[in-house]
Structure 1
């Protein structure tokens, strides 16, 4: 039964008209039964009805599969594609690393009688044929920002992995320049997780992933089973990612010599690719007029057209049959959503269609090229280096780059920039443009200290994702600038503005700080002077951020949404403490409660109004005078305690210092990291230079999970010190006494070690230190404790000052 026959039956029409957007499985079922593009079922009722009416007049079935080749730089992705195309050895030897993204439209035909790949060259005769397009993704992290244009559920994936590299090995900079980016010092294993999570996020649970292990000739002892098992072990903490894999979709390839029969023997892999591409999931039936639209787009691309107006398209498609022009917006909407064109139904963008996406992506990738592909013919190297560091590109440099690559932009430049801004790739300016993914400026210790001086701040709102691709933060920054009706401006106070991981804005007399870390986007609102924060403003900030995130993640897999929560202690927005995240639902309507994360360790008490007061409409704010009084009471008690201070209380205080060090240690070594080390004990023993006793604590003989509560100061200090290069070294370096003006957290780690040693090796002389000198040491130690624990241990400090433990 054809789709046309089905649609004219009341049941079929009714299903299409009333498909519910939120019920994903119903959409899939209806789409599979009727071979209707799944995107149609997410449209509103009127649009679905228009589709039905068009389909009644005639339909055409198309079979177009799409494969994405992804993986780390240098893994052999392009070489694999050339081998699938059965290119010569000479051509393979000439392969260079892919820059950005290469689109190979409909390069393979799937045979009707068997699952086999055939190179397709007859562009004039495509009707009734099953065709496969292939996208070759560049593995350099600089280009990940433009991958969003193509990653979608309308594809299956070949994840290419270099088997000669250990999962723990850091990627070679000659393949991927990661320095000063959010990907700095990533390992090959982290990139595997990145790609698997990217597939899961942009697609759905049914998106197949084919594992291809390359460089078999450089590996020893690898078999398909051992390689597949190692991937499963690497993904053991996320069962959802394993749903994309199948042992039958795992292959090993190597390049030995031309005399080796395995040189061109990719028959099993080709059979697997063809089998997936042949599935009915890629077969869809659309109205005949819409199929004519696809043919028209193909013809225009063949004429080297890049951008056209909507008026040009409807005239090329339907000529003088004006009554058919009303179908054009729906046709463009469908082809935009399935990734064939770019056309947004907003303002001036609605009148323009980018029909050559490869050309558009080339325009962007030529701007954001990394150091390995830097353009030698850029005349003003200083301007380029400034752009490469801070993300601000002068308009004159942009034109120079495009012209130096013989990239014919011409009068299309304003439209290209508008589209790039709409996609969240950049912010268009007058004389310069801002590209967040190129910003390598670090929010360093000086900026942190500047931020800490703001006294009036909200708690830290944490939006925690199951998987958070860094470039969502880049797109959010662009959206805050471009989609807030000009109300969000730049904050220039104290040099706080835009960094690779923090962005500061001004909004209605308040400052708004956004920060990104491994799993969360964090928000904090602050205000200068002694004036109080306005709850109306903080609620508007939250509403705006959540609205923008909903728009940016609207096409994501339904499970990839965030959980709202808070840092249970008053940490700053730019810090990530995984052990201090408490979900919003766990705090609401609880008044005062023992912290669910720290109850046993620190008897930490949460006040609902302090944490939720500025972020929830139905939660009252703690009286500002009372809150200030509580702070003043602590300061009074702090100073009173110092006046009574003696060597014995200093000894008590060093024990609190040990607990502060543990809080910081737990942030840098979360339990999941400690557990993962157990499988490679000998390796980590050497990395962290642990002795037998310390190894026994880190790797318990009974196979139970290690606990930092059992680690002493020496062990935690040793592991933190050897966390290089992830941790920034103390100001004067490891093993040296910091000055009181040195306030990096690693400076405080040194302080805890030094003062613990002073107590541990105390002599009669040191126990009789002058009160002034002892008080200075105590003040220095307590400030270190406050910073490392971010205020969690205030009560423990007061107990120590009063001589109680």
Structure 2
């Protein structure tokens, strides 16, 4: 509560990871609040509300419905509260609500009944402060007991296997082979089908990482935090991420060699800012450091394969590094290179399709964009060496002379097909083929989450530049199809009066439409 929600966090939290130049460069505290709600909404179970007459707890929302994905808000450091607004009567909860997009449905996730303001004094809590903490505890217990899975029965022998995995982890193991673990399962009377169910269950609750596909089907990561840290060390390594001069300039574009990844892991330091006056402690720290980086090097292939599966990174086929023809990887979230205005203008001047927009009501488009970029890279070749940007990626279609760009805004994924040669006309079949494949990828990515992601497919009504914010220009496909009819040009149904009134070239939209509405992938179907 001591932070002003309209302030840019990077200006004040300088001790944290520096987002300068990234997609999060100018984010305020309020935008990060919005971001975390989107994150929870993305990766957790369905948060739609439903009527529950038996629920008499205080976890209901303002409509007296029980939320299946309840979020408890704790506003901390009330004792350091400052005046943040010209309207002192406005509550902090109201300010948090104002941070949320009007077009999205995130407000249903929070409730004043699950909101608490707590103080963080340096000394002991007063009786009043302790009572607030007790209310928080009570809310947590009541919320958990009202979740759908509370009381669900799970075979006891599953937990025997979980206990064995915990012991292996406690003994320093990071990865085990399913072929070896199968013997342990058999000893506990668990056959192959049951073993797959156990692994799926432990994966779902976050105890392990396991995918029964291709190269991953025999690899079980039992130390999830170890795996997460492996990726964290790569993207936050100060040697390259601080963007110092002459240090691996490729990283500015999200590219990194396999050799450099190994160098990052090898140079991991455990709490390097904490002085070790005690020689014994220093030796123990060095031993831990050596053990950690060695575990990453020993399991490099498995780690990178899992990162690829999760859409965090991918190998760029046909590309080699600067040294010894080392493999090259692309990590979209590391890219801090801006798409220049000249590049945006170049697309606008070419023959191009309408800008297709996938507007996400509840999902986090930035991280969806990262995964989509990785997915498309496995299907299409890039235009050239400079095809990757922090908010856009360029690809070359199979049809000669056709290219397309995938970009991201705060609320949408953008797709636009274009040519680089004025003598090459856009081929309608090529446009439709690209759209269909991209939407298949979108569908595939959404199915990796707990629930279907809610989004609408549509078009930009204005001739905006790629990566521009598009919320004010979004026209839902089902609506624009009714307006078009057989006309080559119509007045924009969204901006039909005043100075913003303009026409829409419907030929560019018609080129993108499928003949059968049933083939469309959107939240309407």
The alignment's TM-score, normalised by the length of structure 2, stands at 0.76
Compared with structure 1, are the counterparts of its residues 473 and 324 closer, same or farther at alpha carbon in structure 2 (3 Å cutoff)? same
Q: Post-superposition shift, 1:176?
A: 4.8
Q: Post-superposition shift, 1:296?
A: 2.9
Task: Report SS of the residue matched to 1:341.
Answer: coil
Compared with structure 1, are the counterparts of its residues 447 and 357 closer, same or farther at alpha carbon in structure 2 (3 Å cutoff)? same
Does the CA-based 8 Å contact 1:341-1:353 persist in structure 2? yes
Q: Distance in 2 between matches of 1:392 and 1:558?
A: 32
Match of residue 414 from structure 1: 301
Q: Post-superposition shift, 1:335?
A: 2.3
Q: Choose which of 588, 605, 613 in structure 1 pairs with 2:511.
A: 613
Task: Report SS of the residue matched to 1:340.
Answer: coil
Q: Distance in 2 between matches of 1:294 and 1:381?
A: 45
* Alignment pair present for 1:309 and 2:202: no
Compared with structure 1, are the counterparts of its residues 285 and 588 closer, same or farther at alpha carbon in structure 2 (3 Å cutoff)? same
Compared with structure 1, are the counterparts of its residues 325 and 610 closer, same or farther at alpha carbon in structure 2 (3 Å cutoff)? closer
Q: Choose which of 387, 390, 400 in structure 2 pairs with 1:500.
A: 390
Match of residue 183 from structure 1: 24
Does the CA-based 8 Å contact 2:104-2:361 persist in structure 1? no
Q: Choose which of 407, 427, 451 in structure 1 pairs with 2:314.
A: 427
Q: Post-superposition shift, 1:557?
A: 7.0
Q: Distance in 1 between matches of 2:123 and 2:339?
A: 52
Compared with structure 1, are the counterparts of its residues 538 and 250 closer, same or farther at alpha carbon in structure 2 (3 Å cutoff)? same
Match of residue 220 from structure 2: 353
* Alignment pair present for 1:599 and 2:496: yes
Match of residue 512 from structure 1: 404
Match of residue 112 from structure 2: 247
Match of residue 627 from structure 1: none
Match of residue 759 from structure 1: none
> What does residue range 519-530 of structure 1 map to in structure 2 within 5 Å?
519-529=411-421, 530=423
Compared with structure 1, are the counterparts of its residues 436 and 411 closer, same or farther at alpha carbon in structure 2 (3 Å cutoff)? same
Match of residue 207 from structure 1: 69
Q: Which has the higher contact order (CA 8 A, sep 6+)?
A: 2
Q: Post-superposition shift, 1:441?
A: 0.3
Q: Post-superposition shift, 1:426?
A: 0.7
Q: Distance in 1 between matches of 2:255 and 2:451?
A: 35
Match of residue 39 from structure 2: 198
Does the CA-based 8 Å contact 1:566-1:582 persist in structure 2? yes
> What does residue range 511-550 of structure 1 map to in structure 2 within 5 Å?
511-529=403-421, 530-550=423-443
Q: Distance in 2 between matches of 1:584 and 1:594?
A: 16
Q: Distance in 1 between matches of 2:38 and 2:475?
A: 24
Q: Post-superposition shift, 1:395?
A: 2.1
Does the CA-based 8 Å contact 2:456-2:476 persist in structure 1? yes
Match of residue 403 from structure 1: 266
Compared with structure 1, are the counterparts of its residues 457 and 251 closer, same or farther at alpha carbon in structure 2 (3 Å cutoff)? same
Does the CA-based 8 Å contact 2:311-2:374 persist in structure 1? yes
Match of residue 565 from structure 1: 458
Match of residue 96 from structure 1: none
* Alignment pair present for 1:341 and 2:208: yes
Compared with structure 1, are the counterparts of its residues 338 and 258 closer, same or farther at alpha carbon in structure 2 (3 Å cutoff)? closer
Task: Report SS of the residue matched to 1:525.
Answer: strand
Q: Post-superposition shift, 1:331?
A: 2.3
Q: Choose which of 319, 325, 332 in structure 2 pairs with 1:436.
A: 332
Does the CA-based 8 Å contact 1:538-1:615 persist in structure 2? no
Task: Report SS of the residue matched to 1:513.
Answer: strand
Match of residue 463 from structure 1: 358
Q: How many positions carry a matched residue from both structures?
A: 445
Q: Distance in 2 between matches of 1:572 and 1:306?
A: 46
Bigger share in helix:
1
Match of residue 160 from structure 2: 292
Q: Which moved more, 1:570-579 or 1:404-413?
A: 570-579
Q: Larger Rg: 1 or 2?
A: 1
Match of residue 523 from structure 2: none
> What does residue range 249-264 of structure 1 map to in structure 2 within 5 Å?
249-258=114-123, 261=126
CA RMSD of aligned residues (A): 3.2
Q: Post-superposition shift, 1:312?
A: 1.3
* Alignment pair present for 1:490 and 2:386: no
Q: Distance in 2 between matches of 1:224 and 1:289?
A: 56
Compared with structure 1, are the counterparts of its residues 420 and 461 closer, same or farther at alpha carbon in structure 2 (3 Å cutoff)? same
Task: Report SS of the residue matched to 1:610.
Answer: helix
Q: Distance in 2 between matches of 1:460 and 1:172?
A: 33
Compared with structure 1, are the counterparts of its residues 240 and 451 closer, same or farther at alpha carbon in structure 2 (3 Å cutoff)? closer
Task: Report SS of the residue matched to 2:153.
Answer: strand
Does the CA-based 8 Å contact 2:6-2:30 persist in structure 1? yes
Q: Post-superposition shift, 1:471?
A: 1.3
Q: Distance in 2 between matches of 1:616 and 1:532?
A: 19
Match of residue 255 from structure 2: 392
Q: Post-superposition shift, 1:583?
A: 1.6
* Alignment pair present for 1:579 and 2:476: no
Q: Distance in 2 between matches of 1:306 and 1:385?
A: 30
Q: Deviations over 1:179-212 (max 9, x none)?
A: 2111121111111122122222333322222221
Does the CA-based 8 Å contact 1:336-1:343 persist in structure 2? yes
Task: Report SS of the residue matched to 1:305.
Answer: coil
Q: Distance in 2 between matches of 1:237 and 1:271?
A: 32
Q: Deviations over 1:52-90 (max 9, x none)?
A: xxxxxxxxxxxxxxxxxxxxxxxxxxxxxxxxxxxxxxx
Compared with structure 1, are the counterparts of its residues 595 and 348 closer, same or farther at alpha carbon in structure 2 (3 Å cutoff)? same
Q: Deviations over 1:736-777 (max 9, x none)?
A: xxxxxxxxxxxxxxxxxxxxxxxxxxxxxxxxxxxxxxxxxx
Q: Distance in 2 between matches of 1:330 and 1:543?
A: 34
Compared with structure 1, are the counterparts of its residues 238 and 610 closer, same or farther at alpha carbon in structure 2 (3 Å cutoff)? closer
